[in-house]
Amino acid sequence: MFSSDQSYWFVRKVICWRAAAGIAWAVLLLPPIAAVFLVLSRFSLLHPVQTISECLSLLTSASAIFSLILMCGVVILVGFLNLEYYTVIPTIACSKIALLGHLLHPRQLVNSLAHCIMGIIVAWCCAITIGDRYEILGYPCPQSDGDGSPHLCLNEYHLILLLAGAFVGFSHSLLGVIHNMNYVSFHTVQQYKYLLVKGSLPMVVKCSATQALYSIRNYIVLYFFLGYIPKAWICGTLNLHLNSSVQPLDSIAGLLDLCLLYHLWISTSFLLFTWHITLLLFRIFVTEVYSFPVQSSFTEEAHQCLPKVLTEKQPMILKFLALQDLALLSQHSPSRRCEVLSLSQPGGHPHNWNAISKECLSLLADLTQRLVAYHDTVATNGRAKSLSAGSERKTSSDRSVTSGTEELMSPRPTLLLKTPASVFARSIVGTPRSPLTAPFTPDLDSPLTSPALRRFTAPVEQCSPWFGTVQSPHVMRRAPKLWSTSTDSQVNGSPQSSLASVPSPKQEPSKPSLLAQFLQNRKEQVYKELMLDNFLFQLPEASSQALFADSQAHIWALEGLSYLVQASFSEDQFGVVQTTLPSILSCMLVLQEAVDRHFKLPHASSKPVRSAAGMGDSTHKTLRFALRATLKTAIYRITTTFGDHLNAVQMSAEHLKRLQQFLEYKE
Amino acid sequence: MCSLALFPPPLPTGQTTLCESNNELLESSPLSLYFPRESLKLHSRTESSSKAAFLDHSETLWMRSAAAWRDGGFTGLLSEITNSNTEVPKWLSVTSGCILALLQKFSSFHGSLFPHLTLSSEDMIAEFSQVLNWSDCVVRAFAWHPHTDKFAVAMMDDSIKIYNPKSATTPTLKHRLQRSVAAVQWKPLCASALAVACQNCLLIWHVDPCSLSARPSSGCAQVLSHPGHSPVTSIAWSPSGSLLLSASPMDTAMMVWDVASESCVPLQRVGGGGVTFLSWSPDGSHVLASTPSALFRVWETRMWTCERWPCVKGRCQSGCWSPDGSRLLFSVQGEMVIYALTFSNGPQAAAVVADLSETTFNTPDGDIVVGGEIQSLTWDPTGERLAVLLKGDPQAVNRPAIIAVFKTRTSPIFELLPCGFVQGEPSAEPRLMQFHPSFQHGALLTVCWSSGRITHVPFYFLSAGVPHFGLSGSPLLPRPQMRPTDLANQSLYTELTS
């Protein structure tokens, strides 16, 4: 597809290079980290000078260089896995079963296996580096019985270290799923990369050390009970013997060796630290601000400009970086704001502003709709549970079996009660509307059109409060339009832009292959079944988190819009923003109402438990609070800037009343 | 350079400044809000007396060690082990005693580098607060809402009252963790959020302006804390309302809080030994962060890099920004001058703009010496009045703490002109002052006095920055009492346009 080709440039030219730079820095940092590990692992208090001279000689030895090369390979592989598995929208398991499903996903199993193997490799390198009794797997048995044939005996110290590496690699990958370690969050405070790395290094060291401590504890317990299995297997496959004169390690006396525990811990810390630092560098490099041009004079670069890039969906990170750039330019860069608010040279259309505001508004409307749908399902479910089953038309299980998307999309009578359409209709009829727009809106009154189609034919108006409730063309064509229909026809030409993202919070890359379609269907089915199980294994507030999983985009959209509107008060020479001001305000107000209603649900406003410092990012758990605060601030930013002028904006009476509350600082 | 000698003499004792009108400070008895010291119920410290009512209960060593670890951390654990030397093996108690002694040696060395670290947290707040004589203040912190006529007052008894002329209720905020309030500030672009800097944490109250509750529950408060970041002596919201900065003299890092998600980013720089005072420029582009040593930093808020500004004599005590954020005025402890820094065209050296050395005025009641070190500086939002709180000398009778007000102009060139002194009732000294952020008719200075009284002193003038409906921005009303000759022969501070 053309658009996928166009967005591919970004992955190829930016993301890959950023990941490569991150990996390169991780590889460069590896030798000093390995040197520190070497010194720490071989340090002896009684002979400090001797230790250092030994370490120096060891650092230059061939085996050290070979293991360093191996570890570089591991780091590069970890970097590639990071690039392959990263996501900017966290996958939040709404129930325990869903979490189990994530853990047992084939993709995840491959990841775990890879980490397991890499753990073994790093542990082998550690064993070589520590040397001494860990160095080789087999050693010639002491000739006890005196027969001539030399046997090879199993060195259990070597084995326990290798298995520790495998275990820690595996548990690291599992914890990664549970704590969403592949989630890349964006920073609220922009800093230079060097300072960011420097600032988070102590955190990485600390969390590697503690995670290593817990992993080793679990590993030792596991080894104590099940250690004989791998031991016997290794002995069997490699034809090694067990030296009966040495204390076996899967016993209490064997495991209570402090030196062994220290070496296990320091190797595990080293292993985790190299992986964590790779992850940290990847996150920092990939989330770096990318400045997109607002407009370009060359047509071949047009697809790289901000208004075009914002509408892309395929690499999610592209959309996020574009929105971040929009939020930053609207705050800090007057010259780029000026470009956004400018008119196109031949024709005099505000294409940039139209595209940007349309995309931001559709994002916000999408969230509003999601919230309303969620609220309605929860409300009906709650009622079904509280009332007796007989009086309810549908039981909860009945409801969840019926086709999910259509269920979510269908209009709700509750909303009609909430927003009396008659009030709006009256205020709407009076407003002037352009006759040019009429031919582009299909006949929505026809009984043959489905409600879903009606919705997608007018994506601009998604933000209106009666969206999804009233199917009147009067309502749909409410906003006054100054410029020609070119933007409207664009809107109607790409209805799938809002279609794809509406039904589920997770935005799956949909490929038109048969297999993918099948998988998608299976997934939906599983999802529905899981909906059923939610009642049994529901994790509190997880569904709320899942609803706001991609809210970072909405936060930027809100910030970008509100700062641009604020700047337009003094900078907008052509009155470009004025035409969209009513729709922006009503969109924000409707979202505000939906968010307020959502926070009245149980568990929605309960704060997540502060997790201990780990590499997993817990930003997604508080995104809904951030969104609520940003939304309110955004509305206040507009009302404070425009003040009483807002009374002249054409809006519904209810919204004007709500705005008045904001003008009086009573929200 | 403007100096105090150019000021009109202070009013005789017993007269109180009412307002500024027609370029003169008038005196009368203003309306005020009064918190008598006796009305406050202070903390009764009766822990020692109630101890006798309980039986002595001895816990096991493990329990005590766990409790010591929880309360006092590593050093607490060590001292607990050292003290209970009868129960633990001798080698353990000796070892922990040695480690403890080493730690104390190290911390005393650290303390000798940064003497403020040896202060108790209450003393530290009093030392670095913008409030004069903080520990003795009835009103310990005061904050106007940035957009409405609403303000919050933090009292000596650790409660906060919110006054709103449009509402009959005055909510009182109390919280278990709300101890030793050093500063309060309302969140910009928000009606309800109030940040409070407490001894051990930051509290963010969400006080619904429509609520009729007189006593919001502590569930309305978010607690933000970070290990090692206490006591918090200064906070600053970004003017866009998205971020909150907090500073503690004990912590070398300045915290940038994302309040909604309760997460923070420490911004750490070597040197200084802590951060005492923060001030965010009104345009949001710069932040002043002063340290307990003779060094302050000016952060740029886009990429959060900082410029270091070493002072010669002492630490930066106070500072304020011009409305456009291009100019910073600050004062240094131990010096009696106001410095100015300009940020429009690259870094340069700070220039002295006002000399506040001691000046004697002859009043009917005898000589009054005015001047000395500066406690705090505030600039009104229009950039036309600058209020300076002078410390005075509490021992001397004729050297009171006093507020000197300057007229300022920032464009086309920076100018400082004398305006007058703001005085209160006899024997009441100003402790704390703040300008109203959105006063329509000029500037409104709110002063909290040592007597527990809060007065508002309006300065009526036509702002030059705001366009007026008249002839090319000139004032509409003639000013009959203006004496141009008087003003002309006073040598004023005028920036040289080079």
Answer whether A446 touches B (CB < 8 Å): no
Ramachandran class of A488: left when φ > 0, alpha when ψ lies in -120 to 50, beta otherwise: alpha
With contacts defined as CB-CB under 8 Å, which chain B residues touch A636?
Answer: 189-191, 241
Q: How far apart are CA A409 and CA A399, in angstroms?
A: 13
Query: How is chain A split into domains, by residue range?
Result: 17-143+150-287, 299-381+539-664
Phi, psi of B58 (to 5 degrees): -100, 130
Q: Do A665 and B209 touch (CB under 8 A)?
A: yes
Token code pair at residue B169: 């209720």
- Provide the pLDDT for residue A43: 80
- Helix H, strand E, coil C: the string for A87-138 is ECCCCCCCEHHHHHHHHCCHHHHHHHHHHHHHHHHHHHHHHHHHCHHHCCCE
Question: Which of A190, A199, A667 comes nearest B303 by C-beta?
Answer: A190
Answer whether A629 touches B (CB < 8 Å): yes
Q: Do A630 and B259 touch (CB under 8 A)?
A: no
Q: Do B260 and A191 touch (CB under 8 A)?
A: no
Answer whether A170 touches B (CB < 8 Å): no
Q: Do B240 and A190 touch (CB under 8 A)?
A: no
- Provide the pLDDT for residue A488: 38
Per-residue pLDDT averaged across A116-138, rounded? 89
Q: Which of A342, A414, A396 is nearest to A597 (CA)?
A: A414
Per-residue pLDDT averaged across A154-161, rounded? 90
Determine contact, residues A204/A615, Cβ cutoff 8 Å.
yes
Q: Do A640 and B240 touch (CB under 8 A)?
A: no
Q: Do A188 and B266 touch (CB under 8 A)?
A: no
Per-residue pLDDT averaged across B36-48, rounded? 63
- Residue in A closest to B306 by C-alpha: A191
For B382-416, the pLDDT digits (tens) are: 999 999 999 988 888 888 899 999 999 887 888 89
Question: Which of A189, A607, A640 comes nearest B304 by C-beta?
Answer: A189
pLDDT band at A527; cut points 50, 70, 90:
low
Q: Do A619 and B242 touch (CB under 8 A)?
A: no
Q: Do B147 and A607 touch (CB under 8 A)?
A: no
* C-alpha distance from A322 to closest chain B C-alpha (Å): 18
- Provide the pLDDT for residue B16: 84
Q: Residue B316, exposed/middle/buried by CB under 10 A (0-12, 13-18, 19+)? A: buried
Q: How far apart are CA B296 and CA B317, in angstroms?
A: 10
- Provide the pLDDT for residue A469: 39
With contacts defined as CB-CB under 8 Å, which chain A residues touch B263?
Answer: 188, 619, 622
- Provide the pLDDT for residue A541: 77
Q: Do A636 and B304 touch (CB under 8 A)?
A: no
Q: Which of A125-134, A459-468, B80-89 has the lowest mean pLDDT?
A: A459-468
For residue A330, give the H/E element and its range: helix A316-332
Q: Do A665 and B265 touch (CB under 8 A)?
A: no
* C-alpha distance from A300 to closest chain B C-alpha (Å): 32
For residue A426, give the H/E element and its range: helix A421-430
Question: Residue B152 pLDDT more than 70?
Answer: yes
Angle, vertex CA A36, rays to CA A35 and CA A39, nearest 5:
85
Question: Which of A188, A665, A667 comes nearest B258 by C-beta?
Answer: A188
Per-residue pLDDT averaged across B312-340, rounded? 92
Query: How is chain B split into domains, by residue range?
Result: 61-118
With contacts defined as CB-CB under 8 Å, which chain A residues touch B267?
Answer: 189, 191, 199
Q: Do B190 and A636 touch (CB under 8 A)?
A: yes
Look up tokens 């809060």; give the residue: B454
SS3 A533: helix
Q: How far apart are CA A79 and CA B197, in angstroms?
A: 42
* C-alpha distance from A622 to closest chain B C-alpha (Å): 5
Look up tokens 């525990």; give the residue: A261
Between A570 and A451, residue with greater pLDDT: A570
- Mean pLDDT score of chain B: 85
With contacts defined as CB-CB under 8 Å, which chain B residues touch A199?
Answer: 265-268
Between B411 and B131, residue with greater pLDDT: B131
- Residue in A closest to B188 by C-alpha: A633
- Residue in B closest to A190 by C-alpha: B303
Question: Residue B140 pLDDT more than 90?
Answer: yes
* C-alpha distance from B209 to closest chain A C-alpha (Å): 6
Per-residue pLDDT averaged across A4-24, rounded? 85
- Provide the pLDDT for residue A397: 37
With contacts defined as CB-CB under 8 Å, which chain B residues touch A192?
Answer: 303, 305
- Provide the pLDDT for residue A167: 96
A272 Cβ contact list (under 8 Å, min separation 6): A168, A172, A208, A211, A212, A215
pLDDT band at A174; cut points 50, 70, 90:
very high
Q: Do A191 and B302 touch (CB under 8 A)?
A: no
- In chain B, the percentage of residues whose pLDDT exceeds 70 is 90
- Provide the pLDDT for residue A355: 94
CB pairs under 8 A between A and B: 79
- Residue in A closest to B148 by C-alpha: A665
Token code pair at residue A284: 């920092």
- Provide the pLDDT for residue A502: 38
- Helix then strand then coil, % of chain A, to nearest 5: 70, 0, 30
With contacts defined as CB-CB under 8 Å, which chain B residues touch A629?
Answer: 190, 259-260
A357 Cβ contact list (under 8 Å, min separation 6): A561, A564, A577, A580, A584
* C-alpha distance from A625 to closest chain B C-alpha (Å): 5
Phi, psi of B32 (to 5 degrees): -155, 165
Token code pair at residue A246: 């040495």
Q: Do A633 and B266 touch (CB under 8 A)?
A: no
Determine contact, residues B187/B196, Cβ cutoff 8 Å.
no
Q: Do A636 and B266 touch (CB under 8 A)?
A: no
Look up tokens 């007058």; give the residue: B420
pLDDT band at B464; cut points 50, 70, 90:
low
- Residue in B closest to A328 by C-alpha: B302
Q: How far apart are the first and last CA of chain A?
A: 47
- Provide the pLDDT for residue A449: 38
- Provide the pLDDT for residue A171: 95
Which of B149, B223, B242 to substitute to test the interface with A, most A CBs within 10 Å? B242
With contacts defined as CB-CB under 8 Å, which chain B residues touch A623?
Answer: 261
Per-residue pLDDT averaged across B231-248, rounded? 95
Answer whether A59 touches B (CB < 8 Å): no
With contacts defined as CB-CB under 8 Å, which chain A residues touch B191?
Answer: 636, 665-667
- Helix H, strand E, coil C: the string for B162-193 is EECCCCCCCCEECCCCCCCCCEEEECCCCCCE
Q: Do A640 and B147 touch (CB under 8 A)?
A: yes
For A408-432, the pLDDT digits (tens) are: 333 333 333 333 333 333 333 333 3
With contacts defined as CB-CB under 8 Å, which chain B residues touch A628?
Answer: 260
Phi, psi of B395 (to 5 degrees): -75, -45
Q: Which of B145, B140, B183 is nearest to B167 (CA)?
A: B145
Q: Do A636 and B302 touch (CB under 8 A)?
A: no
Answer whether A339 touches B (CB < 8 Å): no
Q: Which of A341, A338, A339, A333 is nearest to A357 (CA)?
A: A341
Side chain identity, residue B349:
A
Per-residue pLDDT averaged across B8-35, rounded? 82
Between B137 and A428, residue with greater pLDDT: B137
With contacts defined as CB-CB under 8 Å, which chain B residues touch A626?
Answer: 258, 260-261
For A540-563, the pLDDT digits (tens) are: 678 888 899 999 999 999 999 999
Side chain identity, residue A297:
S
